[in-house]
């Protein structure tokens, strides 16, 4: 398996533009997670899905952020409009189940820079 795939790996955009980050989880994994990593706040869970359904989006910073999972093999995280403070590395992860001790497999991340 190729692991969790994210695209693009790097994104540079201007403030006010729409940004879409993409993720393909590992086949057969029922859970998908979106994280954001910044120097100030470390790793934060933004939202997670179980069987394509959003379960907990309490980590989404504000209404400018939205996430979808139209099928088991694809998810998007969209920021509209983007702001400089959104600059961060965004990780997607997937896991087979949600049980204690179950490993989450992380993608390589998307480094977003908003100018």
Partner 1 sequence: AQSVTQLDSHVSVSEGTPVLLRCNYSSSYSPSLFWYVQHPNKGLQLLLKYTSAATLVKGINGFEAEFKKSETSFHLTKPSAHMSDAAEYFCVVIRFSGGYNKLIFGAGTRLAVHP
Instruction: State the residues that interact with partner 1 by CB under 8 A.
Output: 4, 42-43, 45, 48, 50, 55-56, 58, 91, 93, 98-104, 106-109
Extended beta strands in the chain, E state = 5-7, 10-13, 19-24, 31-38, 42-50, 53-56, 65-71, 74-79, 88-95, 105-106, 110-114
Q: Which residue, 10 or 15, has its beta carbon nearer to partner 1? A: 10
Q: Which residue, 12 or 55, has its beta carbon nearer to partner 1? A: 55
**What's the min distance (Å) between Cβ of 66 and partner 1?**
19
Q: Residue 89, exposed/middle/buried by CB under 10 A (0-12, 13-18, 19+)? A: middle
**What's the min distance (Å) between Cβ of 98 and partner 1?**
5
**What's the min distance (Å) between Cβ of 54 and partner 1?**
12
């Amino acid at each position: 398996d190729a692991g969790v795939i994210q695209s693009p790996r790097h994104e540079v955009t201007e403030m006010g533009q729409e940004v879409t980050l993409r993720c393909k989880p590992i086949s057969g994994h029922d859970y998908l997670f979106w994280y954001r990593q910044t120097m100030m706040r470390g790793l934060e869970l933004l939202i997670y899905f179980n069987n394509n359904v959003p379960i907990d989006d309490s980590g989404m910073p504000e209404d400018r952020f939205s996430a979808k999972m139209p099928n088991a093999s694809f998810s998007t995280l969209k920021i509209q409009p983007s702001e400089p403070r959104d600059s961060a590395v965004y990780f997607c992860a997937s896991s087979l189940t949600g049980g204690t001790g179950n490993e989450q497999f992380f993608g390589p991340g998307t480094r977003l820079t908003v100018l």
